[in-house]
Amino acid sequence: MSTIQDVARHAAVSASTVSNVLNGRTEKMRQETLARVEEAIVALKYRPSTLARQLKTGQTPLLGLLVPSIANPMYGYIAREVETFAQEKYGHRVLIGNTYRDKEKEASFFEDLLAHGVRRVIVISSLADESHLTQAVQRGMIVVSYDRRATPGEHSKVNHIAPDNFEAARIATRHLIAHGHTHLAFATVAGMTVSRSDKIDGFYAAASEAGLREHARVIEGGPSNEYGDSVIGEAGHDLALQIVKDACRPTGIVAVNDLMALGLMSGLRETGLNVPSDISVVGMDGLFLSAISNPGLTTVQLPVTEMARAMVERAMTGPCPPDVDADDLVFNTTLLVERESVAAPPAQTASTHARKRKTST
């Protein structure tokens, strides 16, 4: 690897001059000198060390990205969009870390980022506690958090970007209701996060506005420390079992996300229930996998690309007036993609419910 000195020598100029052309300060430079330097750069295949440069400037073209698990297709999807955009628009590379939703791992990642001179980071965490994030901000980082909101009333220096989870769940639920479902369930994993609770609120809101609040409930499955990939199968299995042995079981289920919906459909099938003829399910996310599942999964499409870009933008630009609060962007999620996992509730179940209602009268 040749250095700036090598180039300087080759071009018979000083290192400063080379540095100047490197940084575009080329206005007041003699044409001939510039040419010589450029020629030397090419000849020696010289590439400046971002490393040494950073030691001086304090800036490194790196972006941190923290995900629970990159094996989760949703995070993989986001990560790809983030990396592609950060690279194309800002020439930044991305440093990635799996946290398994573990606070220690998150904190340790932040430490390392700092040590590497990385000052911009996007975190997908949903850990209840945000203190390590605000701490990072105090240490000079620009942090963008996905799928959380700032605690209302609290000033926050961390940027938040999220889909409109409330609306997404409401759309999904309304879709079920429009198909005639009256017994609804919201399927989620154990452990509450802001985004999950927003979705649950949206679910209940849709149920309430249709006068179905009493027939709507939340069911939980799976381990609480889940990070959303392989374990989703077990969670779906758990949930299917819960549903099957339910005396008055729901006919329409909205799943907290596509992976859960997929796991759920798989569990349902194992127990002999058919989707959509026995039970309808709708997901949220809009993973490409929902298009090739069987049956095709009806789902609420999240604007992943737009959110990813927005996160990168925020991470790159930072809060303009340094004393102003960070951003809180909520993205519309109005796009329901209809496929085959939703149908009218089965007649049989309807009669079961009718009977029940009669009994209770």
Q: From the list DNA, a second copy, none, pick the one residue 23 interacts with, judged by a Cβ distance below 5 to 8 Å according to partner type.
A: DNA
- Residue tagged 């100047």 (tokens): 20
Pick 53 or 217: Cβ nearer DNA: 53
Other C-beta atoms lying within 10 Å of the C-beta of residue 331: 18
Question: Before 295, cis peptide (omega within 30)?
Answer: yes
Pick 46 or 204: Cβ nearer a second copy: 46
Candidates 3-11, 48-56, 315-323, 351-359: pick the segment binding a second copy (CB under 8 A): 48-56
178 token code pair = 């429009």
DSSP label at residue 191: S
Of 6, 26, 38, 76, the residue at the interface with a second copy (CB under 8 A) is 76
Q: Other C-beta atoms within 10 Å of 140: how many?
A: 9
**Two tokens, residue 18:** 């080379």
Find which of DNA, a second copy, none residue 29 binds, CB within 5 to 8 Å per kind.
DNA
Is 123 one of the binding residues for a second copy (CB under 8 A)? Answer: no
Give the three-state DSSP class for 296. Answer: coil
The entry of DNA, a second copy, none near residue 4 (CB within 5 to 8 angstroms by kind) is DNA
When CB distances are held under 5 to 8 angstroms depending on the partner's kind, the choice from DNA, a second copy, none that residue 197 binds is none
Please tell me whether residue 94 binds a second copy under the rule CB under 8 A: yes
Binding residues for a second copy, rule CB under 8 A, total: 57
Binding site for DNA (CB under 7 A): 1, 3-5, 12-20, 22-23, 28-30, 32-34, 46, 48-49, 52-53, 55-57
Binding a second copy by CB under 8 A: which of 117, 191, 318, 346? 117
- Residue from the set 17, 69, 156, 159 that interacts with a second copy by CB under 8 A: 69
Per-residue burial over 248-284, b = 16 or more CB atoms within 10 Å of its CB, e = otherwise? ebbbbbbbbbbbbbbbbbbbbeeeebebbebbbbbbb
**Site track for a second copy across 156-195, x = CB under 8 A:** ----------------------------------------
CA distance 73 to 45: 39
Residue number, 22 or 96, with CB nearest to DNA: 22
What are the two backbone dihedrals, phi and then psi, of residue 111, each rounded to the nearest 5 degrees? -55, -50
Question: If binding is defined by CB under 8 A, does position 93 make contact with a second copy?
Answer: yes
Residue 134 makes CB contacts below 8 A (sequence gap 6+) with: 156, 157, 158
Structure tokens at 46: 């010289």
Our finding on whether 346 is near a second copy (CB under 8 A) is: no
310: amino acid identity, one letter: A
- How far is the C-alpha of 225 from the C-alpha of 200, rounded, in Å? 19
User: What is the rounded CA–CA span in Å between residue 55 and residue 157?
Assistant: 26
Residue 266 binds: one of a second copy, DNA, none (C-beta under 5 to 8 A by kind): a second copy
Q: Note the residues at the interface with a second copy (CB under 8 A).
A: 1, 47-52, 54-55, 60, 62, 69-73, 75-77, 79-80, 83-84, 87, 93-98, 109, 111-112, 114-117, 139-140, 229-230, 232-233, 236, 262-263, 265-266, 269, 288-289, 291-296
